[in-house]
């Protein structure tokens, strides 16, 4: 059983590893390289998803896997190995280094394409026979011979110049050594000098791929010569708006007869003599100033361009781009400035730098990439202003539909559902659908659809639309079903679901009624308490008056010199007897008066305790009774 599981586990492990990440691959491979003898050669190699052994081979010979490549003193490997960078360096390059090189990921079985290293040997300065001063007779044909040794690789070409001008008509000759390798080369220039060639300079230049600028050897003719000119500018490096003075100096035989100034090939009007003063601007960087000096023999011309410092100037602004989703998009812009401005790309409103240089490439764009992109140029020198230009990326994609919030509705009342649609190209239609039907525009039964432009657009996603579904006389089923808002264009369809919330009237009524009942009850309680306090104070005052009427003090004038408390707390001898026999009618009359004058209309009852039969008995207490209220003082 275990043997049967092992292959299955291996297969699962292989699948898991396949899903865990990408397989090892080359991010950068070496390419053919041409390098000069004695300089440094660098062959790049970068690997992705690989952290194993990496080695280089030279014409099939392994150099080793260590970074310092022991045994190869002029060879080493550089770069961050953890990031997969394994560049091969050779310094100084010798002729024996010319070979084919490969970068190999041993454990992954990967080999880069072979890169051929070519070692060039620049030519030495050529030799002009009879130089450096060649004596020629004016009007007599003569040959000027220039020779270069054959150890340069590749074989150089020999060119003749006079006063910086390339001369035609030279004859080229090459000799070969016995081994078949190139030997020396010669170039012969035939000319007929004239009197104005006195002092003229001829240059033989040995030039090859190893030294494109070449090496020169000059000779001078002992004849009459045209002017030799030097042109200087002070200052040579200036900012825009500053003054510059050009000075043109010349030696000639015979003497100089005139000066001619030009800028960018166009004559400078009014300029005469060896001195020219100008105000520098950006054009002086690309349009050099030239000075032409003449004498009776001929003329000579020299030119120079100023190093004018100026801020970025937009030469080509980025153009809007519209692509389908999944396609690549690119923007380009061109700026000029001195120093060269630093060009970066960002999205409008963002600070993240997306790229640098004149071109921004966006692979496999999606809807989230839509928007405005800014090409920004920063001046390379402080004090100079920068610049910016922007263009919009429109990503054509299926519509993006979002259901907007809708207010709850009452049963049998009106309702409204909304959705927001962004699409480029514009959608063919926006459709609302539900269980038993759909509607694009207009009305159908209880349903009505309106569509109008959105007040705001989302950059790069195309124009926005708002579609509204109106429902009149909502039903129970409207609150349980889902409504779908969908839109379609040539790239696909998008949609969103919306549901209708319900608002009930009954809970609101109950809450209002409960609050009203609680408020009424509270007011009744407050009113009752206040009324009780008020009536209690009135009854107490009436009771005090009754006591004064019922008590007859012993004095003949019927008054008492002590207060009510003193009368109740005093001794029997100090109080006057209450006579019921002679004054019973008064007491009854007073009692009737109390009952008649009751301010509570009978709500509170005052009942005296029945008096004893004896004439000496007294009224000792009263009882106050109130329905529902007890323990009153």
Q: Indicate the DSSP class of residue 85.
A: B
Range from 19-23, 217-221, 290-294 carrying the lowest mean pLDDT? 19-23
Q: Are residues 67 and 54 in the same domain?
A: yes
Q: For residue 246, say if its preceding peptide bond is cis, omega within 30 degrees of 0.
A: no
pLDDT of residue 280: 92
Range from 287-301, 302-316, 533-547 carrying the lowest mean pLDDT? 533-547
384-395 confidence digits (pLDDT tens): 788 999 999 988
Q: Are residues 43 and 165 in the same domain?
A: no
Contact 260, 175 (CB under 8 A): no
Q: How far is CA 205 from the centre of its chain?
A: 54
- The total of structural domains in the chain comes to 4
543-580 confidence digits (pLDDT tens): 444 444 434 344 334 333 344 333 333 433 333 333 33
- Residue spans of alpha helices (H) in 560-613: 564-569, 584-596
pLDDT higher than threshold 70 for residue 275: yes
Q: Are residues 324 and 405 in the same domain?
A: no
Provide, rounded to the nearest whole percent, the portion of the chain with pLDDT above 90. 31
CATH code of the domain covering residue 440:
2.60.40.10
Length of the chain, in residues? 633
Q: What does the pLDDT average to over 474-496?
A: 89
Quick one: pLDDT band at residue 458, thresholds 50, 70, 90?
A: low
Q: Are residues 127 and 266 in the same domain?
A: yes
Quick one: pLDDT band at residue 194, thresholds 50, 70, 90?
A: confident
Contact 23, 14 (CB under 8 A): no
Q: Which residue has the higher pLDDT, 86 or 517?
A: 86
Q: Are residues 133 and 227 in the same domain?
A: yes
Closest by alpha carbon to 628, among 595, 603, 606, 608? 603
Quick one: pLDDT band at residue 55, thresholds 50, 70, 90?
A: very high
- According to DSSP, the residues that pair with 342 across neighbouring strands are 378
Task: Pick the last residue of a domain from 396, 422, 448.
Answer: 396
Q: Are residues 168 and 264 in the same domain?
A: yes
Closest by alpha carbon to 29, among 42, 40, 43? 43
Tell whether 600 is covered by a domain. no
For residue 99, how many other CB atoms are within 10 A of its CB? 16
Q: Are residues 186 and 71 in the same domain?
A: no
pLDDT of residue 321: 93
Q: Which residue has the higher pLDDT, 559 or 371?
A: 371
Quick one: pLDDT band at residue 506, thresholds 50, 70, 90?
A: low
pLDDT higher than threshold 70 for residue 620: no
Task: Pick the last residue of a domain from 356, 376, 396.
Answer: 396
Task: Pick the last residue of a domain from 470, 499, 528.
Answer: 499
pLDDT of residue 225: 67
Q: Which domain holds residue 51?
A: 25-120
């Amino acid at each position: 059983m275990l043997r049967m599981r092992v292959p299955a586990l291996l297969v699962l492990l292989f699948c898991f590893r396949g899903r865990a990440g990408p397989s090892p691959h080359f991010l950068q491979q070496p390419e053919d390289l041409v390098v000069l003898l004695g300089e440094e050669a660098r062959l790049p190699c970068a690997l992705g998803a690989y952290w194993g052994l990496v080695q280089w081979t030279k014409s099939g010979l392994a150099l080793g896997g260590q970074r310092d490549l022991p045994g190869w003193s002029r060879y080493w490997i550089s770069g961050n190995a953890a990031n997969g960078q394994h560049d091969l360096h050779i310094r100084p390059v010798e002729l024996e280094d010319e070979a084919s090189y490969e970068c190999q990921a041993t454990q992954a079985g990967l080999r880069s394409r072979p890169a051929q290293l070519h070692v060039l040997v620049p030519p030495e300065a050529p030799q002009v026979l009879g130089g450096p001063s060649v004596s020629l007779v004016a009007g007599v044909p003569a040959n000027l011979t220039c020779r270069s040794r054959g150890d340069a690789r590749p074989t150089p070409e020999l060119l003749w110049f006079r006063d910086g001008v390339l001369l035609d008509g030279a004859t080229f000759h090459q000799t070969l050594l016995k081994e078949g390798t190139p030997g020396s080369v010669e170039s012969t220039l035939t000319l007929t000098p004239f009197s104005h060639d006195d002092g003229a300079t001829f240059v033989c230049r040995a030039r090859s791929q190893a030294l494109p600028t070449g090496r020169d050897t000059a000779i001078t003719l002992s004849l009459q010569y045209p002017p030799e000119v030097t042109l200087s500018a002070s200052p040579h490096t200036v900012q825009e708006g500053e003054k510059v003075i050009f000075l043109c100096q010349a030696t000639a035989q015979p003497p100089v007869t005139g000066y001619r100034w030009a800028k960018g090939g166009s004559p400078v009007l009014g300029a005469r003599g060896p001195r020219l003063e100008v105000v520098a601007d950006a054009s002086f960087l690309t349009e050099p100033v030239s000075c032409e000096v003449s004498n009776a023999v001929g003329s000579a011309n020299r030119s120079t361009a100023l190093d004018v410092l100026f801020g970025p100037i937009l030469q080509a602004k980025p153009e809007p781009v519209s692509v389908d989703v999944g396609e690549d998009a690119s923007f380009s812009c061109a700026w000029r400035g001195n120093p060269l401005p630093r060009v970066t790309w960002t999205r409008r409103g963002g600070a993240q730098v997306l790229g640098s240089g004149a071109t921004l490439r966006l692979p496999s764009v999606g809807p989230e990439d839509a928007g405005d992109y800014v090409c920004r140029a920063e001046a390379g020198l402080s004090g100079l202003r920068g610049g910016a230009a922007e263009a919009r990326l429109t990503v054509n994609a299926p519509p993006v539909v979002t259901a907007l919030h809708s207010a709850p509705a009452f049963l049998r009342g009106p309702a409204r559902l909304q959705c927001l649609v962004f699409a480029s190209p514009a959608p063919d239609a926006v459709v609302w659908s539900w269980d038993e039907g759909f509607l694009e525009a207009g009305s159908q039964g209880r349903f009505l659809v309106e569509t109008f432009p959105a007040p705001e657009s989302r950059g790069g996603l195309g124009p926005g639309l708002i579609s509204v579904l109106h429902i009149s006389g909502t039903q129970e089923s409207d609150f349980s079903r889902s409504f779908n808002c969908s839109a379609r264009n040539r790239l696909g369809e998008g949609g969103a679901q919306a549901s209708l919330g319900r608002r009930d009237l009954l809970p609101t009524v109950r809450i209002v009624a409960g609050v009203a009942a609680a408020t009424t009850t509270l007011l009744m309680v407050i009113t009752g308490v206040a009324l009780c306090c008020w009536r209690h104070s009135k009854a107490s005052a009436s009771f005090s008056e009754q006591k004064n009427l019922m008590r007859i003090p012993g004095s003949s004038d019927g008054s008492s010199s002590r207060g009510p408390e003193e009368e109740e707390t005093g001794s029997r001898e100090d109080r006057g007897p209450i006579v019921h026999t002679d004054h019973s009618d008064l007491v009854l009359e007073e009692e009737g008066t109390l009952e008649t004058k009751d301010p509570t209309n009978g709500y509170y009852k005052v009942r005296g305790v029945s008096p004893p039969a004896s004439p000496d008995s007294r009224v000792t207490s009263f009882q106050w009774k109130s329905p529902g209220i007890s323990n009153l003082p």
